[in-house]
């Protein structure tokens, strides 16, 4: 059984090209779901405090401030609390009345903007969230043990747009990873 090719490369000077002969090769990608960068998530500040994440779940995820940190609505029974000793957030899942830690962040330095942040999920995966670039400031989420980024976030009009990279499209990112990444971006941006 033959499978259709996902990429078609036309040779130089192809006279069958719809626009006539060309002097450069043309590459057309038929698998648009795996483009190199595509919008995935939008993070905004809520008017009453807290944050909103759109594009992770069917409904937006709202982080509503409470005494310990944030109560999350729209993503299941989650709560975020600040841990001053580790300078990071702890994400708890409240399934069947019990609070179970499903992830956390930890800042490595005393300067909150310049220090990279570790994002640890309950399954043991460890990620690195870091501010990158002086002329084109952005945040990148990648692994500590591998080069490259899974997500790239840029500030746009009072919000943050997070896009998956080519590697990020293959990453099975649970809502916990998005929540922890976004809450720390809001902290780094001085929202709370």
Three-state helix/strand/coil letters over the chain: CCCCCCEEEECCCCCCCCCCCCCCCEEEECCHHHCCCEEEEEEEECCCCCEEEECCCCCCEEEEECCCEEEEECCCCEEEEEECCCCEEEEEEEECCEEEEEEEEEECCCCCCCCCEEEEECCCCEEEEEEECCCCCEEEEEECCCCCCCEEEEEECCEEEEEECHHHHHCCCCHHHHHHHHHHHHHHCCCC
What percentage of residues in the chain have a pLDDT greater than 90? 47
Domain count, the chain: 2
Residue pointed to by tokens 């069917």: 58
Residues 16, 94: one domain?
no
* Averaged pLDDT of the chain: 80
What confidence tens digit (pLDDT) does each residue in 41-67 have? 999 999 989 999 999 988 999 999 999
- pLDDT tens sequence across 99-151: 899 999 998 766 656 678 999 999 999 999 998 888 888 999 999 888 899 99
Residues 3 and 43 placed together within one structural domain of the fold:
no
> Looking at residue 113, what is its pLDDT?
63
- Token pair in block for residue 7: 């990429």
Q: How confident is the model at residue 163 (pLDDT cuts 50, 70, 90)?
A: very high
- Burial of residue 80, with CB atoms counted within 10 A of its CB: 0-12 exposed, 13-18 middle, 19 or more buried: buried
In the block, which residue shows the tokens 């409240």? 94
Instruction: Give the other-Cβ count within 10 Å of 189's Cβ.
Output: 17
Whether 181 and 173 have beta carbons less than 8 Å apart is answered as no
Domain co-membership, 9 together with 92 = no
Tell me, yes or no, whether 20 and 66 share the same domain. no
Domain of 15, in residue numbers: 1-30
Gap between the Cα atoms of 101 and 78, Å rounded:
10
Q: Are residues 6 and 95 in the same domain?
A: no
Give the whole-angstrom CA distance, residue 117 versus residue 134: 18
Q: For residues 68 and 79, is the Cβ–Cβ distance under 8 A?
A: yes
Whole-angstrom distance, CA of residue 5 vs CA of residue 28: 11
In a shared domain, residues 25 and 86 = no
Q: Are residues 77 and 141 in the same domain?
A: yes
With contact defined as beta carbons under 8 Å apart, do 8 and 138 qualify?
no
Do 23 and 49 reside in the same domain of the chain?
no
Query: Beta partners for 88?
Result: 83
Q: How sure is the predictor about 37, in pLDDT bands with cuts at 50, 70 and 90?
A: very low
138 plus 105 within the same structural domain: yes
- The reply to whether 49 and 7 lie within a common domain is no
Q: What pLDDT does 110 receive?
A: 65
Q: Which pLDDT score, from 0 to 100, does residue 86 have?
A: 85
């Amino acid at each position: 059984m033959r499978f259709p090719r996902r990429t078609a490369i036309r040779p130089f000077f192809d006279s069958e090209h719809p626009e006539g002969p060309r002097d450069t090769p043309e590459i057309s990608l038929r698998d648009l779901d795996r483009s190199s960068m595509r919008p995935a998530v939008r993070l905004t500040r809520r008017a009453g405090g807290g944050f909103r994440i759109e594009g992770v779940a069917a409904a937006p995820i709202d982080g509503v401030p409470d005494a310990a940190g944030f109560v999350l609505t729209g993503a299941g029974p989650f709560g975020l609390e600040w841990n001053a000793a580790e300078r990071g957030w702890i994400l708890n899942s409240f399934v069947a009345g019990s609070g179970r830690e499903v992830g956390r962040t930890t800042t490595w330095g005393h300067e909150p903007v310049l220090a990279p942040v570790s994002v640890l999920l309950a399954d043991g995966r460890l990620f690195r969230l870091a501010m990158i670039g002086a002329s084109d400031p952005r945040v990148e989420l990648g692994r500590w043990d591998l080069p490259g980024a899974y997500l790239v976030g840029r500030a746009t009009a009072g919000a943050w747009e997070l896009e998956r990279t080519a590697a990020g499209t293959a990453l099975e990112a649970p809502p916990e990873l998005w929540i922890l990444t976004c809450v720390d971006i809001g902290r780094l941006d001085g929202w709370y």
